[in-house]
Chains A and B, each alone.
Chain A
Amino acid sequence: MKQAFEKETGATLGGTDASGMFGFYETSCIGLSDQEPAALIDFCPVTELTPQKVKTVVAKLKTGSPAISICDEPKNNIRYTPGENTFILKDYEPGAALRNLKELEPVEVINSIKEAGLMGMGGAFFPTGIKWETCRKSVSNRKFVVCNADEGEPGTFKDRVLLNTMPGLVIEGMALGAYSVGASEGIIYLRAEYRWLKEKIEQTLEDFREKGWLGDHIPAKQPFSFDIRVQLGAGAYVCGEETALLNSLEGKRGEPRTRRYFPVERGYLAKPTLVNNVETFATAARILESGAEKMRKLGTKDSPGTKLISISGDCAKPGIYEIEWGMRLGDLLALCEANDPYYVQVSGPSGVAVSMKERNRRLCKEDLLCGGSFMVFDKTRDLLQILHNFSNFFKQESCGICTPCRAGNFILNRKLEKLQLGLGSLRDLVELEDWGATIKQNSRCGLGQMSPNSIVDAIHKFPEYFDQRVDKSGSRLNMGFDMAAAVREYEEAVKE
């Protein structure tokens, strides 16, 4: 694909062509892992690329067609829903959740959410009811509800599909939140890579306003006014972290704040702010619509309900799976027709590396939680290459403000490169783990705290792989020093 683009546009990766018409750059995951290879042209998505397709697309751009006219409508690829237990992705009837507000006090809404046992779906799994309650209790003349649609964890695209198929459900969830906590202003923080969804969301907001479901005097038991606007992100992964997101909303640099206040105490513009993930709001709406009871019957004791999983990688059916919490890993792999899985990265690079010995583990709070990303790799993929890609991601996406994450991830990255060159020793593995632990324990925000996870896990879980790649002699002459490589530059310089 890289070659195809370079050939057709004349721009090399990381630069522009001579005329400056095309610029061609690498980006982190753009949330289209189920229809790779994919690219954004002027923020318009083109998916399932082939060299032939690249050729046609670029030819059209050259004749002056705007990107918007030639881009693809990304598929939703909803591959599986659990029949009558489907909770989130069933047919959507606009207003079905909101109309309940006529009979409910704000606290009663919060109670339903609590009864249902809803947890945050953005990856931290914080109990949503408690968050709403705390925000409700924060005293302020102005409060905000923010929908976190930054979806930056590589391999996740569930929020994209939710916003594309039923933006109304998410909006209803936000309105419930607003009613519960006493907020009148809402913001959807949409990642820049999803700009193509903006129009659709705004259209839905307009429809809601027309129906009187947004704006002043929304029908509810208590007086309720609430409106929502969409704000685009600037393309940084760390802006998915809620306090960095708030900074970004305020037009500041996307840096996580120091943990002195929770956003529900002091958030956007220092006012109490409820930040929840897209799927959290969607599920909250479903709870009011179908009842907390129904959700409690699904899933496991500690994680009731269902979860949207974005599956990508070496399987026949990448896409969205709504599963009941508690499903076995092996069953999910069978569903997506992963024929020869070797390694699965659950919850994205910040998540958990899983080997096939763990097929019987269950996806649920009691065992293995999954934030949404589920990447399957077979034996044809090199583990170190994958880990190095993840490490590149963190090295670039660290906000750079704290030492362990900024410097540490670069240091780990170098170490992985050494291993890739076959120059590692047992000591390097020990150091990767030690240094990984240091980064985890001491980083300021979740990004740094999770960044070494995949490396540390993989070393533990794939000993047979690493054993073959490191020197185990214990020699005090460091075999990692490669004399031939070290003198190569000199030999070339003196050749001429």
Chain B
Amino acid sequence: MQNLITITIDGKEVQVRDGELLLNVIRKAGVDVPSLCYYEHIDPPLGTCRVCTVEVNGRHVASCTTLARNGMNVVVHDDPTLHDTRKAMVEMLFAEGNHFCPACEKSGDCDLQGMGYQLGVNVSRFPHLFVDRIIDYNPKRVVIEHNRCIRCRRCVDEVLTTDGKRVFSFANRGNDTEVAIDYEQEATLTEEQAVHAMHICPTGAILVRGKSLARPFGDRKYDIGELANGETVPVVFPDVHALKNGEKKVIATVSLAGCFGCHMSMLDLDMGILDLVELVEFNKSPLTDIKHFTKKVDLGIIEGGCCNSENVEVLREFRKKCRILVAIGECAIWGGLPAMRNTLPLRECLEEAYLHSFTSEEGAAIIPQSEDIPKILDKVYACNEVVDIDFFIPGCPPSANHIWKVVKNLLFDQEYSVLFPEFKYD
């Protein structure tokens, strides 16, 4: 029996065993603390993601690598900047990888995603880096999607062959650090071992050939908010609201480099849309087919990022005309699926599309251009790289409910909360 000691967690004294892992101590005390790389079977813990950061005696530490000692003063939630710090870690992971959730096999079961939901990450404050990374199809059993690897190191420590040999290791340094695979050892993995690797990988970086995750999309643990205990997503709302004048509020919407999916989702309000038209008036919008602004607008809703010069001009026009701008959907928020091209040079994309693709004409030699067609940008830009955006609603597409709640909040100051199944990246 280890000695009992006393520590303080968010001002409350608790008795715990000396030397117990702080992360577990905090959780046992009924206080939530997120973790991502932590995996109870790996000891000592990896301490790589820093999502479990708390304050101990005035200093930030990873609670998963810290042992409880007598007299520790631990702050988890009392200082709101700590929540923001943990959120920043998750945002960094999104910004440095290439996470196209709507196209990811792990979506719904991915712990990174789950962390984003749990912490209310609706946008990464850090611009995405879009570094070209490979998908390694060389291994026999697995496929490694380096775009999604968060370098948590779980696979390195946890995946062993029957002979106890390691399969994964870390190679290179800095942002080039990546998981390296010992192909020979990998080939000896049993199916069970390979599937284990896929499961312990918190993201969709390790996939097993010919295997898919048991539950279908939409039904997975983070899709249905299985772990949320009925709590709501802690979204931080900006202090912007429409003026309280008696007149009907005016909304404008646009689809830039998007697929119109977000607009379709707005229509998913079904009968609710009838309430909406009672309360607001639509100005420039594909829904009304009004092509030009005819008045000042309270709320502009943007779908899609900027992939060409016209998108940029339209977006700037929206910023000038609208008091509040909301970016809806992954494409508007950080580029989304169209940004899949961002890791490649534009020239390669154009040549592939117009000169070398199956459907291009034999001997095609021209990339079309005319004064009348907008110029393609070197990459797809997130809306907030071009103008200031006041709020972001994630999803691909976002749920109609979520959009509607936000609109009511912004225009009519109605309080709202977002349920887990309404807050998604896919």
- Which residue numbers of A lie inside 8 Å of B, CB to CB? 236, 238, 253, 255, 258-260, 394-404, 406-411, 414, 431, 435, 438, 441-444, 476-478, 480-481, 483, 485-494
Q: Determine the distance from Cα of A238 to Cα of B369 in the docked complex, in whole angstroms.
A: 50
Known: A493-B346, A493-B347. A401 touches B385 (CB 8 A): no
Min CB distance B245 to A, Å, is 21
- In the bound complex, do residue A236 and residue B173 qualify as a contact, i.e. CB atoms below 8 Å apart? yes
Question: Does B62 count as interface, using CB distance less than 8 angstroms?
Answer: yes
Given A402-B49, A407-B93, A487 and B65 touching (CB < 8 A)?
Answer: no
Contact between A403 and B127, CB atoms less than 8 A apart:
no
**Which residues of chain B have C-beta atoms less than 8 A from A489's C-beta?**
345-347, 378
Contact A404 B346, beta carbon cutoff 8 Å: no
A494 contact set on B, CB distance < 8 A: 350, 367-369
B53 with A442: CB separation less than 8 A: yes
From B40-48, B197-205, B253-261, B289-297, the one touching the partner chain is: B40-48
Nearest CB in chain B: distance from A401 CB, A = 5
Checking B92, B153, B378 against A490 with a beta-carbon cut-off of 8 angstroms, the contacting residue is B378
The listed residue (B173, B319, B367) touching A477 by CB distance below 8 A is B319
Report how far A238 CA is from B320 CA in the complex, Å. 48
Q: Which chain A residues lie closer than 8 Å to B351 at the CB level? A: 493
Residue of B nearest to A259 (CB): B65
Q: Is the interface of B mostly helix, strand, loop or mixed?
A: mixed
**7 residue pairs bridging A and B, Cβ less than 8 Å apart:** A260-B44, A397-B174, A403-B93, A442-B89, A476-B387, A483-B312, A487-B377
B46–chain A nearest beta-carbon distance, Å: 8
Check if A403 sits within 8 Å of B174, measured CB to CB.
no
Known interface pairs A441-B60, A494-B367. Does A400 touch B176 (Cβ–Cβ under 8 Å)?
yes
Across the interface, do A442 and B60 meet the contact criterion of CB distance under 8 Å? yes
Instruction: List residues of chain A with CB within 8 A of the CB of B49.
Output: 402-403
Chain B: interface size category: 35 or more
A250 to B176, CA, bound (A): 23
Give the chain B neighbours of A414 by CB distance below 8 A.
Answer: 127, 129
A493 to B353, CA, bound (A): 13
Binary contact track B159-193/A, C-beta < 8 Å → 1, others 0: 00000000001101111110000000000000000
Chain A residues within an 8 Å CB radius of B176: 400
Bound: A330/B147 CA distance, A: 50
Q: How far is the CA of A398 from the CA of B78 in the complex (A)?
A: 32
Instruction: Choose among B177, B316, B345 the residue that contacts A401 (Cβ–Cβ < 8 A).
Output: B177
Residues on A with C-beta less than 8 A from B347 are 489, 492-493
Q: A442-B60, A444-B47, A490-B375 are in contact. Are A401 and B96 (CB under 8 A)?
A: no
Q: A318 vs B208: C-alpha distance in the bound complex, in angstroms? A: 58
Answer whether A260 and B67 are a contact pair too, CB < 8 Å, given A406-B151, A438-B85, A476-B387: yes
Q: Is the interface of A mostly helix, strand, loop or mixed?
A: helix
Q: Nearest Cβ in chain A — how far from B54, in angstroms?
A: 11
Asked if residues A400 and B47 are in contact (CB atoms below 8 Å), the reply is: no
Cβ of B413 under 8 Å from chain A: no
Measured in the bound complex, the distance between the Cα atoms of B342 and A489 in whole Å is 13
Contact: A258 with B44, CB < 8 Å?
A: yes
CB distance from A317 to the nearest CB of B (A): 34
Please indicate the chain B residues that have their CB under 8 angstroms from the CB of A259 in the complex: 65
Other A-B pairs beyond A406-B151, A442-B53, 17, CB < 8 Å = A253-B170, A258-B46, A258-B47, A258-B65, A259-B65, A397-B174, A398-B174, A400-B177, A402-B47, A403-B51, A406-B174, A406-B177, A409-B175, A442-B85, A478-B387, A487-B377, A489-B346
As a 0/1 sequence over residues 371 to 407 of chain B, the CB contacts with chain A under 8 angstroms (1 = contact) are: 0000111110100111110000000000000000000
Within the complex, the shortest CB–CB distance from B61 to chain A, in Å, comes to: 8
Residues of A within 8 A of B263 (CB): none
Instruction: Specify which chain A residues have a CB less than 8 angstroms from the CB of B44 in the assembled complex.
Output: 258, 260
Chain A residues contacting B62 (CB-CB under 8 Å) are: 258, 444
In the complex, what's the smallest C-beta–C-beta distance from B422 to chain A, in angstroms? 27
Q: Which residues on A sit within 8 Å (CB–CB) of B5?
A: none
Give the chain A neighbours of B48 by CB distance below 8 A.
401-403, 444
Per the bound structure, the CA–CA distance linking A476 and B44 in Å amounts to 48
Give the CA-CA distance A494 to B374 in the complex, in Å.
13
Contact: B312 with A476, CB < 8 Å?
no
Q: Scoring B residues 336 to 360 as 1 if CB is less than 8 Å from chain A, else 0, what string do you get? A: 0000000001110011000000000
Assess the B45–A477 pair: CB atoms within 8 A: no
**Interchain CB contact under 8 A, A491 and B93:** no
Assuming the A-B contacts A411-B92, A411-B126, A438-B85, are A481 and B174 also in contact, with contact meaning beta carbons closer than 8 angstroms in the complex? no
Q: How far, in angstroms, from A485 to B385 measured CA to CA in the complex?
A: 14
Give the docked Cα–Cα distance between A443 and B48 (Å): 9
In the bound assembly, the distance between CA atoms of A411 and B51 in angstroms comes to 18
Bound-state CA distance A410–B126 (Å) is 11
CB of A486 within 8 A of CB of B367, answer: no
B153 touches A400 (CB 8 A): no
- For A413, the closest partner residue in chain B by CB is B175
Specify which chain A residues have a CB less than 8 angstroms from the CB of B172 in the assembled complex: 400
A436 and B239 alpha carbons, distance in the complex (Å): 25
> Which chain A residue lies CB-closest to B384?
A478
Interfacial chain B residues near A406, Cβ < 8 Å: 96, 151, 174-175, 177
The minimal Cβ–Cβ distance linking B246 to chain A, given in whole angstroms, is 26
> For the complex, is B95 an interface residue (Cβ under 8 Å from A)?
yes
Instruction: Name the residue of chain B whose CB is nearest to the CB of A412.
Output: B126
For A442, list chain B residues within 8 Å (CB): 50, 53, 60, 85, 88-89
Complex: A410 Cα to B129 Cα, angstroms: 8
A407 near B345: Cβ-Cβ < 8 Å: no
Inter-chain contact B174/A490, CB cutoff 8 Å: no
Give the complex CA separation of A442 and B63 in angstroms.
11
Distance in angstroms between the alpha carbons of A289 and B413 in the assembled complex: 77
State A442–B92 Cα separation when bound (angstroms): 12
Q: A404-B92, A414-B127, A493-B350 are in contact. Are A486 and B377 (CB under 8 A)?
A: yes
Task: Decide yes or no: A407 and B92 within 8 Å by CB, A442-B50, A488-B378, A490-B375 being known contacts.
Answer: yes
CA distance A481 to B315 in the complex (A): 12
From the candidates A398, A411, A438, A491, name the one contacting B173 in the complex (CB within 8 A). A398
> Which residues from B are CB-within-8-Å of A395?
174-175
Instruction: Using CB atoms, name the residue of chain A closest to B89.
Output: A403
Q: Which residues of A are found within 8 Å of B93, using beta-carbon distances? A: 403, 407
A396 near B127: Cβ-Cβ < 8 Å: no
B345 to chain A, nearest CB (A): 7
| Closest 9 pairs between A and B when the two form their complex, measured CB to CB | A400-B177, A407-B96, A407-B92, A258-B65, A476-B388, A494-B369, A487-B375, A486-B377, A258-B47
Give the residues in chain B near A402, CB-CB below 8 Å.
47-50
B311 shortest CB reach to chain A, Å: 11
A486 to chain B, nearest CB (A): 4
Name the distance in Å between B392's Cβ and chain A's nearest Cβ: 15
Please indicate the chain A residues that have their CB under 8 angstroms from the CB of B174 in the complex.
394-398, 400, 406, 409-410
Q: How far is the CA of A378 from the CA of B386 in the complex (A)?
A: 36
The residue in chain A whose Cβ has the minimal distance to the Cβ of B88 is A438
Chain A CB within 8 A of B417 CB: no
Asked if A408 contacts B92 (CB within 8 A), the reply is yes
Select which of B95, B175, B369 is within 8 A of A398 by beta carbon. Answer: B175
Q: A406-B174, A486-B377 are in contact. Are A401 and B126 (CB under 8 A)?
A: no
Which chain B residue lies CB-closest to A260? B44
Residues of A with C-beta under 8 A to B173: 236, 238, 396-400
Chain B, Cβ-Cβ closest to A492: B347
| B288 proximal to A (CB < 8 A) | no
Whether A476 contacts B319 in the complex (CB less than 8 A), given A404-B50, A414-B127, A441-B60, comes out as yes
The reply to whether A403 and B126 contact each other, CB–CB distance below 8 Å, is: no
